[in-house]
A and B are shown apart, each in its own frame.
Chain A
Amino acid sequence: MRSALCEAVARCQLRRLRGAAAAAPVPAAVLALALALAPFALSHLGHSLGRELAGADGTGAISGAIVLGPLLAAAVAGAGLAVSFPGRAALGHQLAGGPVGQVSAVVATVLVPATGGVVVLLPSLLAVSVGLAAELPGGRVAGAALAAAVTSAVPAGAVVAEMVLATIRRHLWKPVAILAGALGWAGGGMVLGAAPLGPLALVRDALRGSVPAWAALGVSGAVAVILALAWVVLAATRPASRPRGYRSRPARRPVRGGRMPIPLAVGALLARRGDIRLTACGAVGFGLAGIAIAGSAGAPPPTPFLLGATTALFGSILCPLLVGGVLVEGRWLWRGGPVERRVVVRAAGFAGIAGAVAPVVAVGVVAAAASGAAWSTVGVVGALVVTGSGLALLAGALIPCCGRGAGDQMTTFAALAAMAVAASLTVGLAAPGIVALGVPDSAVVVFVCAISVGGGLVALGRRLGADGS
């Protein structure tokens, strides 16, 4: 029974990807090539970073930052995944009513796309981690432990998201149980000298060479498995969402004079989605946590700003990622009405980008006030946000997340991850050469931002104009 459902989901997702590749064969080929090459380039990058950091880690602060930064980013991404996970409803009413167990339904819905995401991401993550750790006292095995730790942070963030969802839906035993687990986590971390890292503090120590790397690898691998299983159980028993009737105040009406402008309509469609709201709140929460952790560790500026803002970005990216699905679901209106397609696409695209920018700005303002940040750092983060949002628009347009198919949401996330890896590789290879020709850094950054946003808007336009979903 389980294999039939898993097989059906796998078949659907493979056919979706094949359809997307057939619709745009050249970009698909470029993407596949970039993904194949990315581990080599990222290994080189890891070695370069490791050589720069080797010898400067006397206090362990750098090893701690190497672990904590990616962990926070992965956790917020995991929280976003969990919040946008549709649960059993993704099977459709007919199959959701069938004799499929709750855990089986979650596993079938998540397993295949998650495996795809891991296949896409893990080689690159391993390459950069192992490359970096090879230059540090811990060696390559410590790098593998770092990759496992980052992977484990994804279900950790998802578990935190389940805690928030359960609290909102007034199922209080889950938050209590998860908080007890979090206390155990922090207690373990305190024993090892880094409460936020919990047992993963062993990875920090392994990078410094003070504990055996194999032990850190075993612990981080076990943590990843335990947290993944915990999330599956929590997702399978997730309480139903509170109905609208519980809300004490009605939705605000942005309509004036009987006409609703398109940007306002798209903005309302996005802003009223529970998953986007929750993820934005999560992005701010995780971002502020990053600032607090960096501040308490005495990290110098602009570390708190960078850690907080980039962590927030990983959560807020959901908004532009869902724009493609929102447009597809409302295509009957957007295409049927007497409005130019580009007007709709621009409105949707910029509403999505605004949704990604807002949480980052909120966190960035706090970080800048708390620890300060140079304008150049603000510019770098701003470019990251715009470029990331553009890539999310592109991924969401190519593999729209409409929330109506099993695993659709995970596949869209995997597409974004693939594009992020490919874009990093392309920019990393091409940008130094362009700068060497005398082109100013800022011009290259603006060009990259414009290309990503422009590409996203063009893809949205094509998706809106395409037949079928």
Chain B
Amino acid sequence: MTKRFGRATALAGVDLDVRPGAVVGLVGPNGSGKTTLLHAAAGLLPIDAGSISVVGTGAGSPPGRAATALVPDEPAGFDELTVAEFVSLVHALWPTDPGAAARAEVLMQAFGLDDRRDQRLGALSRGLRRQASAVAALSLAPPLILVDETTATLDPEAVVVLSEAVATLAARGCGVLVATQDLHFAGAVCHEIVLLHRGVVVDRGEPGALRARHTASSLEDVFFTALGDSGLRERVRDAFGAL
């Protein structure tokens, strides 16, 4: 698929497959196209070339939307609803199985939101708001789950809960596509990592295979090597030191 914003190409020929039960991590610098890709998969953005298929239907079509749940980077809107009301609204809009309410309850308790269920979303911190958004989306257990900036603004406990929830849902057969800058999280949770840079897939593979291919000890080293930024730290240090 290809997505352009005017003359700027946000995604150029990206080819990606999120199979049932797989957790795929999108990793890349800011502006590399991760959020654009997730929004296109969620049907929020039309693409310029190629296609996106969700369980056999087009992304953005009613069945495609029903089969997808997005946890956005910045949840917004419906500030005046409480956490419980928001989760109920999501359950009313999406098709749900009988276990959705129970999953929401478990997630709510795991995230520590059970004593905040009657608080309004607008009164929550950004991290808590993202947790509420995650509860609503993950409890649906749809065929495709999209999580943007997965661990951003989340506290360590919430990251643990999220990673366990993602792993459990994948084990149940959900496909999960996460965009993240947290390379530790990506290495621990994702079955496959796709490295995006300026809208192009520069490398992909299992975390271990990526490390071996780049003869790197960590995913951070893989990241910098693949992007050609291995001397970044020294360059910045020298530039600031010269001021």
Q: Which residues of A contact B (CB under 8 A)?
A: 1, 4-5, 8, 11-13, 15-16, 19, 90-101, 240, 242-247, 404-406, 468-469
Contacts and interface: CB of A to CB of B under 8 A. Distances in A.
B44 A4 contact: no
Contacts of A11: 80-81, 85
Interface stretch (B69-77, B158-166, B193-201, B221-229): B69-77
B49 interface: no
A95 B94 CA distance: 9
A94 B89 contact: no
Given A94-B137, A97-B68, A8 B85 contact: yes
B72 to A, nearest CB: 4
A72 B92 CA distance: 41
Interface stretch (B5-13, B22-30, B103-111, B183-191): B5-13
Given A240-B46, A245-B7, A468-B123, A95 B90 contact: yes
Given A404-B79, A405-B77, 13 more contacts: A1-B93, A5-B93, A8-B78, A8-B85, A19-B80, A93-B70, A94-B71, A94-B75, A98-B90, A100-B65, A243-B6, A244-B6, A245-B4
A12 B72 contact: no
Contacts of A15: 80, 120
A101 B93 CA distance: 11
B39 A93 contact: yes
Q: Which of A1, A5, A92, A469 has the most CB of B within 10 A?
A: A92
A93 B36 CA distance: 12
Given A92-B76, A245-B7, A404-B76, A97 B42 contact: yes
Contacts of A244: 5-6
A391 B122 CA distance: 27
Nearest to A8: B89
Nearest to A5: B93
Contacts of A92: 72, 75-78
A90 B77 CA distance: 7
B66 interface: yes
A27 to B, nearest CB: 21
Contacts of A19: 80
Given A1-B93, A8-B78, A405-B78, A93 B66 contact: no
Q: Which of B39, B77, B85, B89 has the most CB of A within 10 A?
A: B77
Contact of B133 (A1, A16, A94, A468): A94
A96 B78 contact: no
Contact of A97 (B5, B7, B43, B120): B43
A2 to B, nearest CB: 10
Nearest to B74: A93
A99 B65 contact: yes
Contacts of B66: 98-99
B95 interface: yes
A406 B95 contact: no
B240 to A, nearest CB: 19
Contacts of A5: 89, 93
Nearest to B7: A245
A8 B78 CA distance: 8
26 contacts: A1-B93, A4-B89, A4-B93, A5-B89, A8-B81, A12-B80, A13-B80, A92-B72, A92-B75, A93-B70, A93-B73, A94-B70, A94-B133, A95-B89, A97-B44, A98-B90, A99-B93, A242-B6, A245-B5, A246-B7, A404-B79, A405-B79, A406-B78, A468-B123, A469-B79, A469-B122
Contacts, number: 108
A1 B76 contact: no
A5 B94 CA distance: 11
Contacts of A98: 65-66, 90, 93-94
B136 interface: yes
A5 B77 CA distance: 12
A4 B91 CA distance: 10
B122 A468 contact: yes
Given A99-B66, A404-B76, A94 B136 contact: yes
Interface in B169-185: none
Q: Which of A5, A15, A96 has the most CB of B within 10 A?
A: A96
Contact of B92 (A4, A90, A91, A240): A4
B62 interface: yes
A1 B92 CA distance: 6
A16 B133 CA distance: 21
A246 B7 CA distance: 7
Of all A-B residue pairs in the complex, the 6 with the closest CB atoms, nearest first, are A245-B6, A92-B77, A97-B42, A4-B92, A93-B72, A243-B5
A93 B71 CA distance: 8
Contacts of B76: 92-93, 404-405
Q: Which of A99, A245, A468, A469 has the most CB of B within 10 A?
A: A99
A96 B78 CA distance: 12
A140 B66 CA distance: 51
Interface string B51-88: 00000000000110110111111111111110001000
A158 B39 CA distance: 29
A101 to B, nearest CB: 7
Contacts of A93: 39, 42, 44, 70, 72-76
Nearest to A97: B42
Interface in B126-176: 133, 136-137
A95 B122 CA distance: 16
Nearest to B62: A99
Contacts of B69: 97
B22 to A, nearest CB: 20
B81 A12 contact: yes
Given A16-B80, A93-B76, A97-B68, A246 B93 contact: no
Nearest to B137: A94
Given A8-B85, A243-B6, A94 B90 contact: yes
B5 A99 contact: no
A247 B81 contact: no
Contacts of B39: 93, 97
A250 to B, nearest CB: 12
A415 to B, nearest CB: 16
Given A93-B39, A245-B8, A99 B95 contact: yes
B119 to A, nearest CB: 12
Contacts of A100: 65, 93
A227 to B, nearest CB: 28
A96 B65 CA distance: 9
Given A99-B94, A245-B8, A12 B89 contact: no
